Amino acid sequence: MGIIEKMRLDGKRGFVTGAARGIGKSTARAFAEAGADVAIVDLDYEQAQKTADEIMELTGRKVIAIRTDCTDKTQVDEMVDQVVRELGGLDFCHNNAGICINAPAEEMTWEQWSKVINVNLNGIFLTDIAAGKYMLGHGGGSIINTASMSAHIVNVPQPQCAYNASKAGVIQLTKSLAVEWAKRGVRVNSISPGYIGTELTLNSPTLIPLIDQWNAMAPLGRMGKPEELEAICVYLAGNASSFTTGADFIIDGAFTCF
């Protein structure tokens, strides 16, 4: 089998959390373009359904929308059951849902800290375990977690200690699960994007003033685009990455190199 064939995802089934828009929407579309059937998982069901319809029309693949709070174990378990039931199985997933709250550490409330950790780390744990349990009993699979370059550096000027800590936890969780499941057919990897120009980021009143500063610090002089994360995720979801597990891929335009 040639490399082009290995990069195809024909016959595979997967889900993407936080997929109604932004990075998750982009990778979900890429998975479908590569031949997979995909579930768009998000809290915003209306937008998730719009995204599912758009991708289905574009690719001709089966694409469904599922409303799920990834911090709720019952909802996560039910979501995986629905993916398996409606798509016929589960071969990969991209656990991408996340939030950021910028607040000075000494002013951050316990509620703010807990919310970020609950979504970004506990939510990844719940989706990893629910997907992993199915994959361990059904011949294996691939799990992709969204970490961040913020797991490797401390971002400036915005104060975001909870976000940075949560994303560092995602990488260590990824490595731990990869080692535990390596001989059982389930691969677990993470991607660590730099600043990505999603619709939400580019239109956020609190972030717009920071973009020029970020770009001035970036070796490439710009933010990344959601579609620039697609190729690595398609690679990790499919057979071409059969020897890749426990890895974190930094896609940041060299931002963390200095």
Known catalytic residues are: 148, 163, 167
Q: How many angstroms separate the CA atoms of 105 and 163, rounded?
A: 11
- Which pLDDT does position 138 carry in this prediction? 97
State residue 83's pLDDT score.
98
The owner of tokens 């991607």 is 191
Q: What is the DSSP letter of 215?
A: H
pLDDT of 63 reads 98
pLDDT at 47: 98
Closest alpha carbon to 150 in 207, 194, 213: 194
| Among 126, 122, 136, CA closest to 91 | 136
The pLDDT assigned to 169 comes to: 98
Distances (CA, A) of 97 to 116, 178, 182: 11, 20, 24
Report yes or no on whether pTM surpasses 0.95.
Answer: yes
Q: Which domains does the chain have, with CATH numbers?
A: 3-250 (3.40.50.720)
Q: b/e for 17-55, b at 16 or more Cβ within 10 A?
A: bbbbbbbbbbbbbbbbbbbbbbbbbbbebebbbbbbeeb
Distance CA 109, CA 79 (A): 31
**Phi and psi at residue 144, to the nearest 5°:** -120, 125
pLDDT in tens, the chain (258 residues): 788 888 999 999 999 999 999 999 999 999 999 999 999 999 999 999 999 999 999 999 999 999 999 999 999 999 999 999 999 999 999 999 999 999 999 999 999 999 999 999 999 999 999 999 999 999 999 999 999 999 999 999 999 999 999 999 999 999 999 999 999 999 999 999 999 999 878 888 888 889 999 999 999 999 999 999 999 999 999 999 999 999 999 999 999 998
Contact 231, 53 (CB under 8 A): no
CA distance 153 to 132: 29
Strand 13-17 relative to strand 92-95, pairing = parallel
